[in-house]
Chains A and B, each alone.
Chain A
């Protein structure tokens, strides 16, 4: 086992020891804290700020078997200019697509003034992660070669649930080495399959120790996905990992965040758990598709003082 944090872990035994020493998570307590933070009331200027922040954090996503070049190009247009009637609306954090769509997305973004918008590719036999290591390497390399600036890899949940934490760690180290300085690495846990918050905390530490730039809740293919409680546990992990090592790891909830209200609840969780530093697209992203139009609707409502017709929001 190679290691990115030799001061903390250097082999599978030391990794297991490290994980054993983590404080347990109490499910009832986490749910209660997340529910309480869900009652925060965000109004007026703080709501304006939250909406724009959330737009900047959206990883605008399409991950369908039916994806076509046309669909992906349309999505890129939306990513760069979410509201064509209002140039003050910021562009989103990234466009997230399957591997074979990366070069189409990259080329199109560049041609429409979206050079600042990275393309994120889902990788390592997304969404299940059930493939040989050789396939996972090739999958990632394809995405990098096509111009992906961010790699969203999945962990092998089967290995995790079988207790093979060293394998998870090694996979992440390997993919990270392929990404090098070229691409940011996000590690997807599929928390809906890990089920317990103790597992979510363990997975968070394995990924952070192995060199992940971001930890991400879900693929969007499994329910439940980015519940406030799961995100809370992950935010606690990045907060404590920063205190331990001085390194700031990002968090990306994905799946099930569809409304402005949901998104603002996520920002409240960030503010009151990891802190203000994480309220930035470099450290917090929201994987979503339908969310963006709801954010635009709410932004129009804040601007005009009334709700607009859905006909005034572009559907892509």
Chain B
């Protein structure tokens, strides 16, 4: 009998209209960068160019900050909070209405599977606007003092792993609390931010409340140091985050940082094993492992190591790697050549340091940037792949003998963003969770997000929280 294979099921790209060139979004209008400087953005799944994007100069950033300042002083800070909330609701609804367009565009620009942009990124992005819209006129009751006040103009720098979602995590609370925004998307993934600018126009958001300046790290650095900015919110690497903290120390600017991680995913021997294996898969292979809170260190109780490893390998054979626009794809493209090289470099260090590499049989496309789903067994705490963030589909498997040892190993890292606990025993879950130094702890689940739930890290994983009431506090001056 013929095998039941899934035929290609590509999502149509006809819904998106990608322009050949994109300008900066300043004061409610798209405009070219000074001197018409621009850079190219490509589809990482094919390596083919998608569009050219304006490269903001310092003068352009000045213009954006001035526009945000004007909008703050003249319009946004004077508007009744309930009216601000209406704009957020309107944006949320438009994001839902145009969700397919956003999902396709995000997949093309980022390389992540359409199943994830369609089912996770875009619905959550809309969810953040809905959630924060509700807070706009209720801030006095958010537990942030009797009358919390906005900072003014906030500078926001977001990463390439969840482009629109990270934009929503930043822009929604900033607007709800009455701030205006200058946002810089990541160099390789600007397109959905620019489509979001169109949404702002469609929603009739007053000019200058949201400004989007595209560029590279130098653009971001200029924005960070700009005297017209009262608060910086950054999501990205720990190295850059430390640089930002140094740069603005003593300037009086408020700062939140959401940085790297090396999350421990702890599997106790009494866990529901099939579901734990699903949790391991989603922990490390969701979004190609380009997730700061990925469960990239698997800590397995030694008594069930063989069972977990064999079930995990069998499950990994089912991962469908390939065209991100195919609705059945599970693992898409690596976002950039630079990131692919970094993953190769760290994975090679795993080989050299004596860990055992394994990947399922799967063919990778010849064009674009790809990496097979990979696990390393026999990893020790001293290996680089147990210490450094790989930010790719690479899992390091370590073992432990007792709950105490699990905690010791899980916390033995400069990071502290996320952790997972898998056990059928409630008391053990609580005992473990109390001792883990991580901002987010999932029990019998992994990589679940909700706008009402605060997200952020301990130690070198960052400062401050995003989402929930805690996240609001980053965008207001707390007056007791």
Contacts and interface: CB of A to CB of B under 8 A. Distances in A.
A23 B274 contact: yes
Interface residues of A, number: 28
B275 A47 contact: no
A276 B279 CA distance: 24
Given A41-B328, A49-B4, 19 more contacts: A23-B271, A23-B274, A26-B275, A28-B445, A29-B275, A29-B278, A29-B279, A30-B274, A32-B445, A40-B6, A40-B327, A41-B6, A42-B9, A43-B8, A46-B4, A47-B7, A50-B4, A53-B4, A279-B1
B297 interface: no
A88 interface: no
Query: Lowest 6 CB-CB distances: which A-B pairs, in order?
Result: A29-B275, A26-B272, A41-B9, A41-B327, A26-B275, A23-B273
A33 interface: yes
A33 B278 contact: yes
B444 interface: yes
Interface in A34-48: 39-47
A50 B7 CA distance: 11
B321 to A, nearest CB: 15
Interface centre among A29, A47, A53 (most CB of B within 10 A): A29
Contact of A28 (B6, B276, B318, B444): B444
A25 to B, nearest CB: 6
Contacts of A158: none
Contacts of B270: 24
Interface of B: 1-9, 115, 119, 270-276, 278-279, 318, 327-328, 424, 444-445
B7 A44 contact: yes
A280 B1 contact: yes
Given A29-B278, A39-B119, A276 B7 contact: no
Contacts of A271: 4
Contacts of B5: 46
Contacts of A55: none
A272 B318 contact: yes
10 contacts: A23-B271, A26-B272, A28-B275, A29-B278, A29-B279, A30-B275, A32-B445, A40-B327, A43-B9, A279-B1
A236 interface: yes
A27 to B, nearest CB: 9
Contacts of A236: 274
A267 interface: yes
B4 A33 contact: no
Nearest to A280: B1
Nearest to A44: B7
Contacts, number: 69
Contact of A25 (B4, B274, B328, B445): B274
B278 A276 contact: no
Nearest to B9: A41
A297 to B, nearest CB: 20
A171 B7 CA distance: 45
A34 B429 CA distance: 25
B274 A279 contact: no
Contacts of A40: 6, 327-328
Contacts of A41: 6, 9, 327-328
A247 to B, nearest CB: 18
Contacts of B115: 39
A49 B279 contact: no
A25 B270 CA distance: 11
Contacts of A26: 272, 275-276, 424, 444
Contacts of B271: 23-24
Nearest to A40: B328
A24 B424 contact: yes
Contacts of B445: 28-29, 32
A213 B427 CA distance: 40
Given A26-B272, A29-B275, A279 B318 contact: no
Nearest to B273: A23
Contacts of A53: 4
B165 to A, nearest CB: 19
Interface in A15-74: 23-26, 28-30, 32-33, 39-47, 49-50, 53
Nearest to A22: B273
Contacts of A39: 115, 119, 327
Contacts of A44: 7
Contacts of A280: 1
Contacts of B7: 42-47
A267 B6 CA distance: 11
Contacts of A42: 6-7, 9
Contacts of B272: 23-26, 29
A43 B9 CA distance: 7
Contacts of B318: 272
Interface centre among B270, B272, B327, B424 (most CB of A within 10 A): B272
A32 B444 CA distance: 12
Given A23-B272, A53-B4, A276-B3, A32 B278 contact: yes
A41 B327 CA distance: 6
A19 to B, nearest CB: 15
A158 B429 CA distance: 33
Contacts of B276: 26, 29
A41 B444 CA distance: 28
Nearest to B1: A280
A90 to B, nearest CB: 11
